[in-house]
Amino acid sequence: MKTIHWLGTGLSSLPGIQKIAQSRHSLVLWNRTLKKAQQAVNALGIHAQVKQLEWRILEESIAEGDLVVSMLPAALHVQVAKLCLIRKAHFISSSYVSAPMQALDAQAKEQGLCFVNEVGLDPGLDHLFAHALIDKYTKSDVFNPENQHSFRSYCGGFPKQANDFKYKFSWSPLGVLKALKSPARWIADNTLQQTEKPWTALISYRFKRIDGLEEIFQAYPNRDSVPFLKQYGIADNWHVQEFVRGTLRLNGWAEAWSDLFKKVDSLTGEKGIEELAAISDDLWAKYPYEEGEQDRVVLAVELEVKEPEGEATLFKQSYSIDETGNERGSAMARLVSLTVAIAVESLLADELPAGVTTAPHNPQLVQNWLTQLSEMGEHIFVHA
């Protein structure tokens, strides 16, 4: 029997670990702190081996054909993937494909290994929604590359009950702060847009809730949206009026963070990195989620298509998720780690290709993944 090695047993991993354990696979949980991993096993009431994460012992424990799930910090994924190449094991992470990870593609294919990435929430479920929308549209009678296409994908996590800061942190704020320092590229008005300060491209976004009411969020572009045109199957000859992948925040977030933006914008060089870490520590102390506090996650992906002249709307559909924390875990933890668990099952069923890949685009497999997530109690809404 293939063994699943799950690296990292923090709170964000627990729902996925529980799902894998329920499937009665051979499961080994690895964590830098052994006590924390054992606490996870006890809290979930599951049967799994628990081991302290040491690279030498991990390498010796991985057998050919095993599957390694990395829920470690993204900077460690390539190290884990290279270990998988040595041991001829498969690899899964929820993080974006980095250039060093992509460089392992040929070696993974040569050995028939699946190195699956971007199978969490964002990236992950957003990709599935995008593929589903593009597939529906391209198979419709109104498909025409000359139509005006507007694609929007926004995702955000925040406290269910808003605080003055309009945000709280589940883990170190450093990742959020670094994202604010990352340039963004997207398409608007049929023109490539870019900014060094993503928060300056803030818009108001109207989200249609399941109760039919609209809720106003603030949204801004997240890093480089442009490469995802190809990933989503949008060919070069399509007329793209708008294409953006971005971050959602509670209304009033920009005002609450205005002083922080000024600080982040002023940081440069090595000293700036140190100061950013200090700011992160301060935010972590001031705005953590309290024990038992509910979070909320909203993901909205929509495709709107107008005729070439831009008058009549020919196609308009969206997929959305609006979940809050419950007894099964935080909304963020469930949507990230349960999607990872689905990827594990899909890989074990030989449904995924060899090489470095992202969330599946095959229509049948996309629908299968979304159905499984719904059966786990997560609610996916389709608006036409």
27 within 8 A of 49, measured Cβ to Cβ = yes
Instruction: Give domain status of residue 337, yes or no.
Output: no
Tally of domains within the chain? 2
Token digits of residue 368 = 């299968």
| pTM given for the model | 0.95
Evaluated on CA atoms 24, 26, 31, 36, the torsion sign reads positive
CATH code of the domain in which 67 resides: 3.40.50.720
Domain ends where: 116, 138, 159?
116
Domain ends where: 85, 116, 147?
116
Taking alpha carbons only, the member of 123, 127, 133, 173 closest to residue 336 is 123
111/129 same-domain check: no
Domain ends where: 83, 98, 116?
116
Which pLDDT tens digits describe the chain residue by residue (384 residues)? 799 999 999 888 999 999 999 988 899 999 999 988 898 888 888 988 999 999 999 999 999 999 999 999 999 999 999 999 999 999 999 999 999 999 999 999 999 999 999 999 999 999 999 999 999 999 999 999 999 999 999 999 999 999 999 999 988 898 889 888 899 999 999 999 999 999 999 999 999 888 888 999 999 999 999 999 999 999 999 999 999 999 999 999 999 999 999 998 888 888 888 899 999 999 999 999 998 899 999 999 999 999 999 889 999 999 999 999 999 999 999 999 999 999 999 999 999 999 999 999 999 999 999 999 999 999 999 988
Evaluated on CA atoms 186, 339, 13, 287, the torsion sign reads positive
The whole-angstrom separation of Cα 369 and Cα 361 is: 11
Instruction: Give domain status of residue 283, yes or no.
Output: yes
Q: Which residues of 23-60 are buried (b: 16+ CB within 10 A; e: fewer)?
A: eebebbbbbeeeeebeebbeebebebebbebeeeebee
Instruction: Give domain status of residue 336, yes or no.
Output: no
Token digits of residue 110 = 């040569």
Tell me which residue range forms the domain holding 98: 3-116
Locus of tokens 């719904």: 374
The whole-angstrom separation of Cα 370 and Cα 228 is: 20
